[in-house]
Amino acid sequence: MRDSEHLIQDRSAGTADGPQDGSVQDGSTRDGASPRRIPRPGTPSQESPPQESPQDGALQAVLFDMDGLLIDSERLWLRVEFEIMEWLGGTWSEEHQKRLVGGSVDVAVAYMLELTGARVPPAEVGRRMMGRMVETLAAGVELMPGAAGLLAEVAASPVPAALVSSSHRHVIEAALGSIGRENFALTVAGDEVPRTKPAPDPYLAAAARLGVDPARCVVLEDSPNGVAAAEAAGCVTVAVPGVLPIPAAPGRTVVGSLREVDLARLRSLVGEPRP
């Protein structure tokens, strides 16, 4: 996922009813794709059955971010950005990339065109960038350390899991082949909510669709934007810092990697009593 102190914008290209017009004409953002309607809170989801009311104090759901947490997408973005900048006649570095963490496709395209002075329509640059990223993800990507084990442990338990990403639907779909669609009761994409991270909307939507209390959910995130979204939604948060640092804070757990996290630890974070 992308985050930036300098260039942060709302990465959502649309609302729950569809995308808004922007300089990337297909409605994509740097996290990418086509809109889907999300049911209003309380509306039964076709993607997962209603959950039984869990016992008081129990962990009700685990909500996973995708980019930077489950997959090393920043490395993939860097490769794609190098290609795009070469096509535009310029050069790219990791320092350029850091300025765009959390920004939209429009922000990235504008920055690249400013650096190169290339006279290329922004929409064409955006389409080319997102197309290359989807191709890269669809070819397969390795999971981050500890991700496979934690996903499998949660999937084997009665606790439902959701993938909650700022990436757009077609980017998520391209990555699910590597991450494992079967690991999630549902997925929420950035173009399926009125506002995406750092707003709480994605996590509130996931909790509503699962029929659970956000305060009894644990969110795993790698970026300051994602942590802000999870905490604004009232969720218990575990931060696994990626490109940008995430400081410790009251009620926030910061770990070095997903290898330090298991289901028992997630249960303890919501105060679930031991059996």
pLDDT of residue 22 exceeding 50:
no
The phi and psi torsions of 207 (rounded to 5 degrees) equal -60, -40
Domain 34-72+142-269: assigned CATH number = 3.40.50.1000
- Catalytic entry in 3, 26, 31, 65: 65
Measured CA to CA, the distance from residue 219 to residue 63 in angstroms comes to 5
- What is the DSSP secondary structure assignment for residue 23, as one 8-state letter? S
pLDDT of residue 238 exceeding 90:
yes
Measured CA to CA, the distance from residue 184 to residue 252 in angstroms comes to 24
Confidence of residue 243 (pLDDT cuts 50, 70, 90): confident
Q: What is the dihedral of CA 211, 217, 221, 227, to 10 degrees?
A: 100
- Catalytic entry in 31, 67, 72, 201: 67
Cα–Cα distances (Å) from 236 to 59, 65, 104, in that order, read: 10, 14, 27
- 65 classed as catalytic: yes
Across the range 80-101, mean pLDDT stands at 89
Measured CA to CA, the distance from residue 77 to residue 98 in angstroms comes to 11
pLDDT computed for residue 97 by the predictor: 83
pLDDT of residue 267 exceeding 90:
yes
pLDDT computed for residue 9 by the predictor: 33
pLDDT of residue 24 exceeding 50:
no
For the record, the structure tokens of 24 come out as: 């990337």
pLDDT computed for residue 58 by the predictor: 93
- 31 classed as catalytic: no
Helix 105-116, helix 122-138: angle, nearest 10: 120
The phi and psi torsions of 138 (rounded to 5 degrees) equal -65, -25
pLDDT computed for residue 95 by the predictor: 87
Which residues lie across from 219 on neighbouring strands? 63, 237
Q: Is 127:272 a contact under the CB 8 Å cutoff? A: no
pLDDT of residue 38 exceeding 60:
no
% of the chain exceeding 90 in pLDDT: 62
Q: What is the dihedral of CA 27, 68, 218, 104, to 10 degrees?
A: -30
∠ at Cα 240 (233, 47), nearest 5°? 50
Measured CA to CA, the distance from residue 51 to residue 79 in angstroms comes to 41
**Cβ of 42: how many Cβ atoms within 10 Å?**
8
Measured CA to CA, the distance from residue 108 to residue 92 in angstroms comes to 12
pLDDT computed for residue 275 by the predictor: 65
**Cβ of 163: how many Cβ atoms within 10 Å?**
26
pLDDT computed for residue 13 by the predictor: 34
For the record, the structure tokens of 178 come out as: 């590597």
pLDDT computed for residue 55 by the predictor: 52
pTM: 0.76
Q: Kindly tell me the sign of the dihedral angle through the C-alpha atoms of 208, 236, 59, 180.
A: positive
- What is the DSSP secondary structure assignment for residue 260, as one 8-state letter? G
Task: Pick the closest to residue 173 from 223, 203, 130, 109 (CA basis).
Answer: 130
Across the range 121-134, mean pLDDT stands at 93
